[in-house]
Every structure is written in structure tokens, then in C-alpha cells.
Structure 1
Amino acid sequence: MKNFSNVLIMGAGPAGLSAGYVLTQQSVNSVVCEQANAVGGLARTIRKGNFRFDIGGHRFFTKNDDIHKFIMDLMGDEVIKVKRKSRILFCGKFIDYPLPIVDSLLCAGIPDCFIIPFDYMYQKIDGRLKGKKIISFEDWVVNQFGRKIYGLFFKSYSEKIWGMPCDQVSADWARQRIAGMSLKTTFTKALFKWKKNSPSSLIDEFNYFKQGFGRISEKLAEHIQKANRIYIKTRVVQVQHEEKKIKGVVISQKGCLYNIGADYYISSIPITTLVQIMNPPAPEEVIEASKNLRYRNLITVHLMLNQHKVTSDHWIYIHDRDIGFARIHEPKNWSIEMAPPGKTSLVIEYFCSRSDKIWNMSDENLIDLTLHDLVKKLCLIEKEKILDGFVFRHPKAYPVYDIGYETHLYKVYQFLSDFKNLYVIGRCGMFRYNNVDHAIETGVKAAHNILGANYDL
């Protein structure tokens, strides 16, 4: 292993690999270190025999023309166009998502059909008259949809994702994830269909890739490895610094420790981890701030079935509280190459914390629990059709935007910004709940900054 390079990249998800790709294209000596046994992070594609599985399902859609061209040029003839179909399972009924106004009103029931529009107008007027501040996720959704729609379609699902009441979740999450959505835009979409400037949450078509979303990371890695190195199963255990400059890192690989130095460092590892492995240690108030930043874990249960198809959906969102998982996707509906002929598969997502019972459950028990809910409660599949199954656990998958998180994050950013040869990028690296196109953009811009640009990340 070389003990020095021009740039050291921590993390081989789409953000880190995009940075490595740009640097490699410009003949910059660099090395990428990844803790997992494969590249891609949460956006990888897992292979099991002739089946391919994304972890949770990822679409590619961006409003950034440069990033769109970057990925289209990279992927070439692997790109396919997919017409989106998603549904919500609510009170035993399937309704389309994004919410079609007629279906949602009918699902709510005749009395609520009349209440919903008046409730929405009341919340708008009341909020303006009283000057209500939008602080929590609950505040934001009630303001955009009314309290009735919030209670029917947002509250239970969001609390299942975050494991906390919606009035404890910051409105920033809504602003980033469902920005532009409201009862008004839902009506507009129903009446006038999709427009180019519609919110990304409402798009009807997206790009995907014949053999899974993870092909982005795989192709980026292939290009990097033509001139540079990617080390998997390699964990950064210490970041050494002196006089406001990162001097080197200590990595753990196959039970051995190695020191690696570089001129510049790019980190997409969780920002909390980065702060807590600094040597000398970060100031106590910064360490405490990092400990107050939390991530949500993801478990995916992957099932292989001996049948042609289960649904025609890309995603199914499960609101019912008595079912532990929150979302299902069927990979074959994204690309026919994700499963062998005559077979299909399902990916079932659980959101949890390390202390939750579900996180600590054995794989066998978790698969049994999942099958019980799919077979007995949802009646989606027959147990006899199951060929095989496995479980994937991804810690620190999603940054948690609880009320006040931004105060803690500011302290961490202030500390890290002092290091002029360090760039933090990506979802976990920046503690920013963004989409994969934004993560890729941060990696590309960080690389260009090292090459002389001055982008604001």
C-alpha cells in the first residue's frame, strides 16, 4: 500500500467515487478507502445468483444539467426510462402516490371529503393571522395540506420512518424532501398534469439502469481503478491534524494499521465519526455537538420468488402502524434484468435505531416476521412461492433532522471548516438529507475545488 497520495478519499459511495472519477480524469494521484466489502454505499446493487437488488430502490432524476450529462455520459446505453408507479397502502386500500386528489378524498370517506378543503383554507388563514412559525415537520405539512390530510396520510408513515413524533422532526426535512408539495400543487397536477418545473417528488418518469442503480458506482470505480486505487474493507480509524491542516489518516485493513498521508482529504464518512476520530481530539463542545447528531439505520429484507410478478409498482408505502416495515419495492418493475425469467423479487425496508428490537433481531426471525406480514396481513404473496431470502443492515443510513439539530451541526461545521485541505461531501458526510444527484454534485465540486475552482459546497 502506498503511504502517500495527492488526494485521499474516505468513503466509496456515489459522492466519494464521483470525486475520485473527476480527479482520475485529470491525472491526479488519489486513493479511496471504503469500510464495506463493496463500493456504492446505500446506492449499491447486491447480486444473489441471477437476482439483483438495490438497497431500497433509487431513481435518477436531477434538475442540474451538468450532473445529468455527467451520469448520462458515464452510463451510456445502460440508461432506461421508467414510468413511475407508486402506491400507498392505507387502511387496507391501495391509492396512487403522489396523492391523486380524487382517490385521497374517496379514501378519506364522504364526510372528510367536505372537511379537507375547508380545513386546508382554515389552516392557511389561521397561520397567517397568528403569524405561526414553521418549526416542525408537523407545522410544515399542516400548513401545506391542512391538519386532516396530515393526520390521514403523513403522520403515521413519517413517525414510522423517524421513530419519533412529527412535532419533534424539523421542518427542514420537509423542505428538502417534499418541497413544493401542497394540496394546491396536488390539485394542479391532477388538473394540468406534470410540468417541467414541478417538484421532484411529483415526477412521473425517471432514469434507471438496466442492471441496477449500483452500476453508477461500479462504473465510476472501474474508471478510477485504471490509474488509482480503491481499498475496500478498509476503515479510517484516526484523522491526524496539526495547525489547522490534516496531516494523515490511520486506516485498519485485515487487522493491521497503516498511516497514509495526502495533500488533500475528501470525507463522505458520517460527519459524527469524522469528528470523533480526530487526533488531537476535537474540542469537547464539538464532540458533544457531534454526539447530539443522530442517524437512522436501515434494514432491508430481500426475498426471491418463484413467480413472474407480485405487483406493477416501483414503491409501495406502508402506513399501517401494526406492520413494522415502511416500504416495499419490486426490482423487476424497474428493469427486467433485475430478476431471471419467470421469477421476481421484493425488497422490504425497515427504519430503526440501534437500540430497537428489530435491529438486534436475527436474520432468520426477521425474515419470518416479514413473511408473516406479507402473507397474512397484506396478502401480497404466498409463502410457498419463496425461493430464498437474506437481510442487509446499513447503520447510519439517514441523518435525523430533529428539532435543534442545526445548532449542533453548525458547531461541527465551524470546527471542520478550519481545515483548509479537507472537504466533506455526500449525505452522511455533510449530514444533509439530499438525493443521490446532490451527493454526486458535492463530490464533483470538491474535486474541482482541489483542481482550482471555488465552489460553495
Structure 2
Amino acid sequence: MKKITILGSGMAGFGAANLLKKEGVDSIIYDKNQHYGGHTASYKFNEGYVFDEGPHVSFTKNERVQKFLADSINQEYETINTVVNNYWKGIWIKHPVQCNLHDLPKELIVDCIKDFVHAMHHEYGEINNYADWLRASFGNTIAENFPMEYGLRYHTTTADNMSTDWLGPRLYRPKLEEVIYGAISPTTPDVHYISHFRYPTNNGFVNYLNPLPDLTEIVLNHKVTKIDPVSKTIYFDNGKEVGYDGLVSSIPLPDLLPMITNAPADVVEASQQLACTKCVVVSVGIKRDDVTPAHWSYFYDRDISFTRLSFPHNLSPRTVPEGHSSIQAEVYFSDKYKPMTGTPDDWIEPVIKDLIRCGLLREDDDIDFKHAMYIPYANVIFDLDRKANLEKVHGFLDDVEIRYAGRYGEWGYMWTDESFLSGERAAQKILNKVTSD
């Protein structure tokens, strides 16, 4: 077999290249960027800060992937017990809110418990969307004040326009005893689905991809403009043309489908209806090391610019200069539901203002680093249109034997290990086809 071509050098491309290497098959990766890593990229700045492209941690339970990633960085990682909190109308609340109602207004606590009990004993009937699921799981008061509000800010669309296909263990469903205990006690057991995680000690999250250059040939600065699945040819914006024997793509589906020669118009249109959030990530460095003990925080108030914060200095001390802290804020938009306003840099000062407002920054803090980054593909939106459109797109790609992988190829809510395994599966499909032929 000749070389298998992989488009994209993120975690999915990593998984594909690794499997092919193990099977003795050569591969080559093309990436449009000047660096490899895709959405897994990390950026070092001269000021001594390291920021990932949004928050990334590894908490896989898959022992094989866990060992592989640890070996990739020579066992040089931090093992961290997760600290997560929430900010709601000036109150800091341990995560998840439904188990930690203690500091909320007393009238609200009563309504939360009353509606939670009602939901336990009320038959909601068919669950047609995420809003139905939330009301049935937590009762109206918790649902409306917390996950529905956060979901609108994170997904940019309302809960009644979302499916439940993405949930998994992400939203904890407590017992009544846990809700009551969290209402009367200021301290509660930790029940977050990520109890602990790993993070590379050095160079940011992309360090996990250290072995990639030894697994495959990597060609950077090559942006795909056209793919002809009949002649099996890929065309790049620099005029280069290459043939392929098998193809794995992690290119986002809305970008990929218009590139494919003679793709049916209805399939291309379906790809354009797949929704995702776009994110402005604002990164800030502070000459102070006691900003927060949290690893990330969720924000529910609509008048706060960011939806989530993460704190890289709490992941590894080598992401910041000694004695400093770092904050990364996520501001979400989407073409379909909430078009972006302003430029990325326009969001730096609003973010800093809101960091001061919620008490994480002080008016007199010495901020020695500010940076804004635009991420055109952040999180897949599981709106009610997704399933039918995705089936149409994937069906066509299966027919023309373009194997899709990763968060934006499978168009799913994938964590690190899931993206890696997705790349492996895509590569295995190519090997299976060769064997069957």
C-alpha cells in the first residue's frame, strides 16, 4: 500500500497516523497552518506565558490511550484534583450548582427543592429536546436559572432547539438527599464528572503530540482547495496537486463539502446547516499568583462578556512566569444564532472589566500580558437540525470513501481521547477496505 493521506494534524490526525504506523503503513499529513496541532495547538509567548487554543485537559478512562499520552511526554505530567466553580449574580457557587444551593437566596433554594421534588414524581412524557430533559431532570427552577442560562451562552441557542445527543455524563443528576444536603451545608462531596485530570508539565497541551513527527511526514502551509474523489487528487492553494490511495480528513465539514468535486448541491447545503460556535479567546497574564484556586469557572449572567474561564497557571506552573497567574476567557458567537460583533481585540477590555467586576482581578493589578485569538470552529451545536443534515453529509462521504475524523469531521462533542480514537477508526476503515479488496 502507498501512503495514506491525512488532512489535519490535531488529535484525530495523531490517532490516524499512530494506527497506520503500528500497521506498517506510511502516511503523510497536510496542514494549512504553520504549526501542527490543529485545535490542540499551544502557543508560547515571549513574556513567558503558554496558552492553549481554549482549555484542554486529559481525563480519559481508556487505559491504552492514557498510557500512550503519558509515554508521549515521557511521564512528565501534572495530576490535578479538579476544582470547578460557578458565578451567578455576584455569588460564587461550587460546581455543580444543583448539589450546592447553600449560598443562594433562601426563596430560590425553596423553589429549587420544591420543583426538584415535583420533577421526581411527575411524568413528563416524551423528551423531545434538551429543555424537556432539563425540566424532567432538575425541575423548572434549577433548569431555568442555571443550565438553560449557561447553555444559551455556551451554545448560543435555546435549550428547546437542542437535542440530548451530546449529554453523556456532563450534567450530574443528583439524588434528593444530595440536593437537600447541598442546600443546608456549605461543604459537599465532589461529584464533578472530572474528578482529576492530567496536563503536560512542559510546553502546553500540544506537548502530547510530541511523537507525531516520528509517526508520519508532516507538510505544513498547505491549505486544501479542492478534492476530486474520482481521480483521488487533492489540490492546494499553492498550486500543488497530490494523489491519494486512502484519505482521512479532520477538516470541518462545512469547509470540506464545498471542496469536493461534483458534491450534490443538497449535500453541500446540508453541510452549511451544521452549526458550531465561534470563540474569541482572551488570554491575560497577571503579576500575582493567587487569582483563584479553580481550574475553570462557569458564568451564567448574560451581561458578563465571557461564558467560561480557565486558569492555565493552575494546570502547570510552567505555563506562566514565576509568581504570575493566567486567565483565559471564552466569548461565544455563532453564524447561525449569534453573529460575532467587533474584532477579537475589541473584546480584551470588556473581558478585563468583567474580571474586575466578578472579583478575580483588582483595579490595581499589574496585567503584563493581553492577547485575543479567534477560533472559527469551537464547539459543535447539537441543534435539532443537526442529525438529519449530518446523516446526509456522512452518507455522501462514505460513498466517496473520504474517511472523516475528529470533532469537526464526525461533528460531535469529542474529548481528547475520543478524537484520538476517532482518527484510529477512520484509518482502520481504509485498512479494512484494502483487505477486503
Is TM-score (shorter-chain normalized) higher than 0.5? yes
Matched residue pairs, number?
A: 427
Q: How far off its partner does 1:418 sit?
A: 1.2
Q: Which residue of 1 aligns with 2:375?
A: 394
Alignment of 1:78-117 (within 5 A): 78-99=76-97, 101=99, 103-104=100-101, 106-117=102-113
1:313 equivalenced with 2:298 (yes/no): no
CA pair 360-111 structure 1, distance change in 2 beyond 3 A? closer
Q: Which residue of 1 aligns with 2:208?
A: 216
Q: Which residue of 2 aligns with 1:429?
A: 409
Residue deviations 1:371-429, cap 9 Å, x none?
A: 22222454523354111211111102222111131011111111111134x31110001
Question: How many Å separate the matches in 1 of 2:122 and 2:244?
Answer: 57
Specify the code of the residue in structure 2 equivalent to 1:436.
T
CA pair 385-357 structure 1, distance change in 2 beyond 3 A? farther
Q: Which residue of 1 aligns with 2:31?
A: 34
Question: How many Å separate the matches in 1 of 2:92 and 2:52?
Answer: 24
Q: How far off its partner does 1:314 sit?
A: 0.4
CA pair 450-358 structure 1, distance change in 2 beyond 3 A? closer
Match of 1:125 among 117, 121, 124: 121
TM-score by length of 2: 0.90
Question: How many Å separate the matches in 2 of 1:87 and 1:398?
Answer: 21
Q: How far off its partner does 1:47 sit?
A: 0.7
CA pair 450-24 structure 1, distance change in 2 beyond 3 A? same
Q: How far off its partner does 1:357 sit?
A: 8.8
Q: How far off its partner does 1:434 sit?
A: 1.6
1:261 equivalenced with 2:249 (yes/no): no
CA pair 376-61 structure 1, distance change in 2 beyond 3 A? closer
1:12 equivalenced with 2:9 (yes/no): yes
Q: Percent identity?
A: 25
Aligned 8 A contact 1:310 1:381 in 2: no
1:202 equivalenced with 2:202 (yes/no): no
Q: Which residue of 2 aligns with 1:236?
A: 224
Aligned 8 A contact 2:296 2:309 in 1: yes
1:371 equivalenced with 2:352 (yes/no): yes
Aligned 8 A contact 2:73 2:208 in 1: yes
CA pair 423-285 structure 1, distance change in 2 beyond 3 A? same
Question: How many Å separate the matches in 2 of 1:37 and 1:67?
Answer: 27
Aligned 8 A contact 1:266 1:446 in 2: yes
Q: Which residue of 2 aligns with 1:140?
A: 133
Aligned 8 A contact 2:117 2:176 in 1: no
Specify the code of the residue in structure 1 equivalent to 2:233.
G
Deviation larger for 338-347 or 24-33: 24-33
Question: How many Å separate the matches in 2 of 1:285 and 1:186?
Answer: 51
CA pair 272-185 structure 1, distance change in 2 beyond 3 A? farther
Residue deviations 1:437-456, cap 9 Å, x none?
A: 101111123334444499xx
Residue deviations 1:179-218, cap 9 Å, x none?
A: 6x21329929979956xxx8xx52321111112212112x
Q: Which residue of 2 aligns with 1:160?
A: 153
Aligned 8 A contact 2:87 2:93 in 1: yes
Q: How far off its partner does 1:117 sit?
A: 3.0
1:414 equivalenced with 2:395 (yes/no): yes
Aligned 8 A contact 1:271 1:428 in 2: yes
Q: Which residue of 2 aligns with 1:178?
A: 170
The secondary structure found in structure 2 opposite 1:303 is: strand
The secondary structure found in structure 2 opposite 1:302 is: strand
Q: Which residue of 2 aligns with 1:273?
A: 255
The secondary structure found in structure 1 opposite 2:400 is: coil
Residue deviations 1:59-104, cap 9 Å, x none?
A: 2112322222222222232222101101101110111113362x32
Specify the code of the residue in structure 2 equivalent to 1:361.
G
Aligned 8 A contact 2:28 2:218 in 1: yes
Residue deviations 1:264-310, cap 9 Å, x none?
A: 1001111222221111x211221221121122111111112122231
Q: Hey, which of these two has a bigger chunk of strand by percent?
A: 1
Question: How many Å separate the matches in 1 of 2:361 and 2:337?
Answer: 26
Specify the code of the residue in structure 2 equivalent to 1:275.
L
Q: Which residue of 1 aligns with 2:73?
A: 75
Question: How many Å separate the matches in 1 of 2:9 and 2:243?
Answer: 18
Q: Which residue of 2 aligns with 1:334?
A: 315
Question: How many Å separate the matches in 2 of 1:76 and 1:192?
Answer: 36
1:251 equivalenced with 2:236 (yes/no): yes
CA pair 113-369 structure 1, distance change in 2 beyond 3 A? closer
Gaps of 5+ in 2: none
TM-score by length of 1: 0.86
CA pair 22-335 structure 1, distance change in 2 beyond 3 A? same
Q: Which residue of 1 aligns with 2:178?
A: 187
Q: CA RMSD in A?
A: 2.7
Question: How many Å separate the matches in 1 of 2:64 and 2:400?
Answer: 28
Residue deviations 1:313-359, cap 9 Å, x none?
A: 10011111111111111111111111111222111111112589984
The secondary structure found in structure 1 opposite 2:229 is: strand
Aligned 8 A contact 2:288 2:323 in 1: yes
Question: How many Å separate the matches in 2 of 1:409 and 1:428?
Answer: 11
Q: How far off its partner does 1:109 sit?
A: 2.4
Q: How far off its partner does 1:26 sit?
A: 4.0
Question: How many Å separate the matches in 1 of 2:175 and 2:159?
Answer: 22
Deviation larger for 295-304 or 60-69: 60-69
Specify the code of the residue in structure 1 equivalent to 2:31.
E
Q: How far off its partner does 1:360 sit?
A: 4.7
